[in-house]
Structure formats: C-alpha cells, structure tokens
Structure 1
C-alpha cells in the first residue's frame, strides 16, 4: 500500500520516524512530508535513509501536493500537533503537508502528541469532533510521560501505529463498490417525557466497524443510537427507540450489500408511556413488554450478508452465539464476553455457518478489522 506519512513539530517526532520505518519494513511504499517545525527535531536525511522519499516545505513547488495526494492510498500524521489538526479541521492549507492533506481528503489517520492541557482544551476537543465527523481517524493519545511531567497526550507507540496501518492495508479496497449499513449504540425507551430505560453501550464498536468498512472502500451508512458517538460514515441517521430503529432499518436494508447490527437494543420497553412527568413516590411499578427482534424480522435479498452480535458470559457465549446465528438467519455473528463491559479490550469470536474464529483478547479496532476481512471474504 502507498502511505503518505506526515510528521509535525513535536518532541515525539523521533517516534514518528520509527513508526514510518516499521511501516516501510512491513512492505509498504512510504513517502514522508516533514513540516518546518518537524525539521527542528528530526533531520529529513534520517527519513530518506531509513524510510524513503522525503519532502519538506523547501520542495513545495507547482503541483507536488496534488501529485502526493493522488499517489497515496493511506495518509498518516504522527506525531500530529494541535496545529495540524486545527488546520485540517478547518481547511487551512499553508504548507506542503496541510495542502496535500486537503487535496487528498479523508480519511487521514491522526496520531496526536501534545501536553495534556492542550489535548484537553475545548478548542482541540472541538477540532477532534470535527475531524471525526469529516471521516478522519484519530488514534487518541495515552496517559504517560510527557516532555513536561506526566498526563494525557502521550503519542501512541510506533508499533501500535504500524500495526493499525497494517490492519488498514489488509482490508484496503476489499469492499469497493459495496454498500454497508451499520447500526450501533443503545436504544432508549421512554417512561415519561424526561426519563428513559436504556443500557450502558457506548457504541464504540460500531464506530470502529464504520471506520474499517470505509478503509475497505465501502459506502457506509450509519444508524446511531441514543447518546453514541458519530461514526465516520458517508450517510448518517440517528434514532432513539427500538421501534424507530426497526422502521429505519427496514427502509434502508434493501439498498445495502451488507447489514451489520451492532446496536444494543432494549429487550423490553414500558407498555405505557406517561404523557406527564411521573412524580416522586415511595415506589413505582412499571409494566414492560418485549421489543421486536429487529434483525430477525428484516427482509432478505439474494446475495445480502447479515451480521449480528452476541454478548454473554464466557461460559454461555459460543452456544448462544451459534443459536442466534441460526434463529436470526445470520451469515456472521460476532461474540464477545461481558466480563469487562466498556473495556478497551475483550475476548472476541467471529462465527459463521462453517467456522469459528477465536480472536482472543483484542482491541475493538482490531476486532472491527477482523470482521470486515471476514465480510469481504464472504462477499467475494
């Protein structure tokens, strides 16, 4: 894969050099752009020697930015300063790197590195939101040693960056021409005008699935549940209740090659919703009724692939997942245990009609890429 690798002015620039070296070592063709600030920390000669073709603002002539943008299949900025994130978020192009990124468009993989106060500033967090809404990927920094003390803002390791790019490369272009519908996040069932019954789902897995599907070249439609983060999709919808989700999926599913149901749908809803706020009392009795099984009830078209999820205790996980695969007429089911809800890493399995892939304990981005690889294989 052809990787355009940007480096900006940060004390972590040497880690960018190592990440770029590892990406090149994995067999990718890498071209680097160093900003003026980056050259204060690392020399272009090091990148030319260890990685490949390297450019600085001194090379910015004619249409070089267009040529690099058109050449690249994957864009990475590591380290990414608050400055470059702000530029790309707002379309500012005043040097070779920012101009090339603007010409290339999303997605770009940003790997921030900065002091905690800069990372947590309202301006940076707003730019982060804008970048994600535009379809970019941000490998958010960890908490660790910084140039001035310790805190959030430490750049991800070179190994993590190279690993993510390698995962990206494994799915690149594998779903080109396909349309993928991804529903994710929790539903919320109203009790009265101000209260709901919901669950603790963050929707993070669905966001990562959308990101991996876009890397694979698919046109991605996202349906976001109540309170979930916005995913990098080409078309987006938001819902609150299970009924809204079911109606929307029934309308959208026939136009998609694959339907991925990662939503945490409430199994029950109040049988009666109060039109007024329920006052405080000693006790409250609520009668619940079952919500419909959305994915099982969706119409199928020949050639469509349907993907579901199963969350349960480790001891019951495989048995229940296989049962749901059959009863819900799924092609793939992703099973993960609920021993650590909300955790960054969990035990994942991908189960189809003829095989079970035990992925072990991995991160949600890794699980999302594994799912997209399996989906692409089935749709081949």
Structure 2
C-alpha cells in the first residue's frame, strides 16, 4: 500500500522523537521512500546518522544549507513528497503552524505544501488540554491538516495521562489511509467481528475459533475509505483500528443489543461475526461430572434475520462459514434473511478457515449472481468487499 510512496517526515523537539527511528524503519519495510527533517529542537533528542542509515539519504536540518539534490530546498522537498508527516508534533510547532509562522525549514515546507499533512501530537497532558493548544488544533483542522489524537499512557513525567505519541503502527495505518479512495465518505457502516462466548456455568463456556481478523480488516478498510465505522466485536486479541468507534461484547444477546442500538443510525451492516447459533441453559453452579452428562441448549438470537425484517434502506451483508459446498446453505440464508449480499467460505479448505490471515470466499448477491474469489489475504478480501459495498450504496442512492 505504501510501495514507492514518498513520505517527508518532520521531527520536532520532544522526548518521544526517539520513537521515530521505529517509524522510519517500518516505513522502509512497507516499501516507502522517506526523507527526514530535524528541527533544531529535535536535534537535542536525536541525531541525523540513524535516519540516514535507515533512509539511505541525507537528513535535512537547515533551510539555508545548499543541497545539490534540492537547490530550493523547501520548494523542492514539498514537490517531492506525497505526504508530510510531523511526528512528534509539539505544542510549539502546533502554535507556529496555526499562525502561519515560517522561521525554519519545516515550517517553510508546510506553507509550500499542497498535499496531505499529518500531525502526530506529543506533550504533557496539561499542555495538551490547555485552551490555547486546543484552539490551535481546532484551527489547524479547519485549515485542512489532519491531526491524530494522542494516546493515554505513562508520560515523560511518569504520570499517566493523555499526551503520548500515537503508536507507530497506528501512524502508519493512518498514512496508508491517505492513499485510499474515499468512495465510502459520508456513509455510516456497522461491522461485527469475532466470536461470542456463551457461558455454561461460572467456569466454562461455548464458543468458536473465530479470530475476528476478517471483521477488523473490514472495519479498517471501510474507515480508510472515508466511512464512519462502528465495530462491534466479541472477545479477540486484536487491537481496534485507529479512528473506528469500538464496542466490545461477549454473549450473542449482548451483540444483538449493541447491533440493534446502532442499526437505525447506519447505511450498511456487515455481519462478519461468528455469533453462536445455540446457547446452553446457564447453571449458577459448576456442573459436576455425571455418568451421562446432558447439556441443554436453546437457540441464540438470529441477529441477521431480525435485521432483515427491520431494514428500510440499509444494505445488509452476511457471512456464512460452512464445511463443504457453501452454495446451498449460503443461498438459503441470503433469501431467508433478506440480505443484499452474502460472503461464504468453506472452512475446511487450506488457508480459508478461522485464525489464519487468508480467506477464499464465494460472493452471492440477492439476484443469485455468484462470484468465486481466489485465496487472498483477509485485507485484500476486505478491500474488494468494500468495492462491492460502495457499488451497492451508490446503486441504492441512485434509486431512492
């Protein structure tokens, strides 16, 4: 996604500047071409040499220092880059940029730059919450700059609070989003993911092997492409994508309640969660061993079927994990649950089951048209599925 993309990284004077070594290294791993600018403050915390090793290119520090590569350095670097990332962005740089001050190489480049600018703030909680800093952030957003929200954690003062530099992986994911089409902009999409856990007694539960990767990938890609995304997930080990509203649930009934609460607010629902079909009758005490133990089950709520009955103009996409021929059962679900599209996969095929990073799926639309996709990463499946989602939403809009 970042292969051969040209990223200009401005580093300012914060203790978190050391984290940009990892940022530059990971950008290189992604195939990006990176150039680095160090402000005078940044050079107190980091030196040019490690960045020159990672980028195989000189580091820029002075607007008045001649470079044969870039004779008019601030103009030429601005032309070269596809995106300007300032990380860490201190309160000082936010204040200067909000007032249009250009007194060094980095601030001159900002004024000459007419492509996306991403700011990654890092400072103490007290500084971040100061009215003047928040006003500067608000103004910069109004001017079209994108500003990430700092994370909560242990700061340089050893206190826990808001102000930590966003995680490097999150910064990279946001950078990727700038190179995505924004064809889902203006749409609100609800995605479900992961398994549910249905308790048997205080010690045991019924669940399944779903990892949540497919749903998390869908939420991330939809958000990249401009949608306002809510992700409702059962228990997983995955980190929610940056910028996505996240709701965590455990039981099928909890997922049902969360989905129904959001349904009227969204344009589309992608039910990628592996919700339990059956749940045990709960025992308040541990069930002891018996000669012939019997587990009493009842039907869990069929969330998709309920959505199909309630939907007005929403687009509904379901998933069907099967063993063997997926077409008969997926077609039945598509019809019975009033879906617009169903994504089916045979979990017995190599690389197409749970807990793997790939999938091989068959799509069936409400007209019975069937598409079989080759084995690919779940992220690529998510990309192509978001293509279809965009088509369905635009078709809906054109006919309403």
TM-score with structure 1 setting the length = 0.65
Q: Which residue of 1 aligns with 2:182?
A: 173
Summarize the alignment of residues 117-266 of structure 1 with structure 2, pairs less than 5 Å apart.
131=167, 169=179, 172-232=181-241, 233-266=243-276
Moved more, 175-184 or 340-349: 340-349
User: For residues 201 and 15 of structure 1, do their structure 2 counterparts lie closer, same or farther at Cα, with a shift above 3 Å needed?
Assistant: closer
Q: Which residue of 2 aligns with 1:117?
A: none
Secondary structure of 2:379 counterpart? helix
In the comparison of the two structures, how many residue pairs are matched?
308
Q: Which residue of 2 aligns with 1:307?
A: 317
Secondary structure of 1:264 counterpart? coil
Unaligned runs of at least 5 residues, structure 2: 11-19, 39-47, 59-66, 71-75, 87-102, 129-139, 150-165, 395-400
Instruction: Give the whole-Å Cα distance in 1 for the aligned partners of 2:69 and 2:124.
Output: 29
Summarize the alignment of residues 28-47 of structure 1 with structure 2, pairs less than 5 Å apart.
32-33=35-36, 36=48, 37-41=50-54, 42-44=56-58
- Asked whether 1:105 is paired with 2:147, we answer yes
1:187-243 CA distance string (max 9 Å, x none): 111111232111111111111111001111011111111235242253221211111
TM-score with structure 2 setting the length = 0.63
User: For residues 218 and 14 of structure 1, do their structure 2 counterparts lie closer, same or farther at Cα, with a shift above 3 Å needed?
Assistant: closer
Structure number with larger C-alpha Rg: 2
1:51-93 CA distance string (max 9 Å, x none): 9349899x95363575599732889xxxxxxxx9xx9799999
1:130-187 CA distance string (max 9 Å, x none): 739x965669xxxxxxxxxxxxxxxxxxxxxxxx95x9845x2111111111111111
Match of 2:375 among 357, 361, 364: 361
User: For residues 285 and 305 of structure 1, do their structure 2 counterparts lie closer, same or farther at Cα, with a shift above 3 Å needed?
Assistant: same
Report 1 or 2 for greater relative contact order, CA contacts < 8 Å, sequence distance ≥ 6. 1
Instruction: Give the whole-Å Cα distance in 2 for the aligned partners of 1:68 and 1:276.
Output: 69
For the aligned residue pairs, the C-alpha RMSD in angstroms reads 4.6
Structure 1 residue 47, shift from structure 2 partner: 9.5
User: For residues 213 and 106 of structure 1, do their structure 2 counterparts lie closer, same or farther at Cα, with a shift above 3 Å needed?
Assistant: farther
- Tell me, yes or no, if the aligned pair for 2:232 and 2:247 is still in contact at 8 Å: yes
- Asked whether 1:341 is paired with 2:354, we answer yes
1:227-271 CA distance string (max 9 Å, x none): 35242253221211111111221221111000111111111111x
Moved more, 236-245 or 36-45: 36-45
- Tell me, yes or no, if the aligned pair for 1:254 and 1:300 is still in contact at 8 Å: no
Unaligned runs of at least 5 residues, structure 1: 22-30, 76-83, 94-99, 108-129, 140-163
Moved more, 175-184 or 276-285: 276-285
